[in-house]
Amino acid sequence: MEPVGLSSASSKDSTSLDVGSERNRYPYVTGTSVLGVKYKDGVALAADLGGSYGSTLRYKSVERIKAIGKHTLLGASGEISDFQEILRYLDELILYDNMWDDGNSLGPKEIHNYLNRVMYNRRNKFNPLWNSLVIGGVKNGQKYLGMVGMIGTHFEDNHVATGFGNHLARPIFRDEWREDMTFEEAVRLLEKCLRVLLYRDRSAINKFQIAKITDEGVTISQPYSLKTFWGFSAFKDPTKGAEGSW
C-alpha cells in the first residue's frame, strides 16, 4: 500500500475491467497508525493528526477519530478522503437508525459489521476504500474493540493497531495490557506506543488525540504533544568512531 504521490499510473495491465469506472489505484493523502485498547470502564483510541501526501507532511490537523452515534468511536488510517466517505455512509446509517425512534440504537458490533460488509463489497467491485478502521465502543456495559482492513479482513481483540502500529505497538500491548487498567494507565500505555511510533514511523507527527468511550459517553481530547528525547551522544557526534566521515 505505497502512496505514489504525483507520479503517473503504471499502464502495464490495461484490461477491459477498467472501462469508464472510478478506480482507486493508490492512496493520496494518508493517515498513519490508529491504536485502540480496552480498559476497565471502556475503550480508548489514539491517533496523530497528520495527513501525508506521499513523503510530504501536508496536513497537520486531520482528526482521524470520530464519534458515531451514542456508542461508538471510529478511527481510520489510510486515505483520508475515503474516511470522509465512510463518515458520510455512517451519517446516513445513524440518521435512519434515529428515525426509527424506537429506543434502540446501533452499537459498536453493528457498526463493525456494517463497515466490514461495506469494505468487502467495495473490494469485490475492485474499488476499495483505502482504509484500515478501528471501531471501539461500549453498549450496555459491554466493551467492544475491533478492526476492519481495506479488503474486509476483520477481527475483535482487547487491543488493536493499524499500519505501523501493528508492528511497533501490538507487541507492547501484548506485554503490558491488563484487563482492569484504569483510564490513566491506558493513556500511559497508549502514549508509550505513540512515542515509539513517533520515533520510528516516518509519517507520524507529534500531535495526538486520545479518545475515550464509556457507558457515559464519548470524550475526544484536545490535540497535544509528547515529550521526546533526542540527546543521544551518537546523534551529537555521529562521526566519533570514524574520523573524516560525515
Residues of the shown chain interacting with other proteins in the complex, contacts defined by CB under 8 A: 1-2, 4, 10, 12-15, 17-18, 23-26, 116, 119-120, 123-124, 126-128, 147, 149, 151-157, 166-167, 170
Query: In angstroms, what is the minimal distance from the CB of 114 to other proteins?
Result: 13
> Between residues 12 and 236, which has the closer beta carbon with respect to other proteins?
12
> Between residues 105 and 158, which has the closer beta carbon with respect to other proteins?
158
Query: In angstroms, what is the minimal distance from the CB of 161 to other proteins?
Result: 10
Q: Which of 81, 101, 103, 106 is nearest to 91 (CA)?
A: 106
Question: Whole-angstrom Cα distance, residue 92 to residue 73?
Answer: 16
DSSP state of 83: H
Paired residues of 135 in beta bridges: 74, 146
- Residues 54, 6 contacting (CB under 8 angstroms): yes
Query: In angstroms, what is the minimal distance from the CB of 21 to other proteins?
Result: 11
Query: In angstroms, what is the minimal distance from the CB of 159 to other proteins?
Result: 10
Tally Cβ neighbours within 10 Å of residue 225: 11
Query: In angstroms, what is the minimal distance from the CB of 156 to other proteins?
Result: 8
- One-letter amino acid of 184: E
> Between residues 47 and 119, which has the closer beta carbon with respect to other proteins?
119
The x, y and z cell numbers of residue 197, run together, are 511510533
- Residues 41, 211 contacting (CB under 8 angstroms): no
> Between residues 132 and 209, which has the closer beta carbon with respect to other proteins?
132
> Between residues 128 and 137, which has the closer beta carbon with respect to other proteins?
128
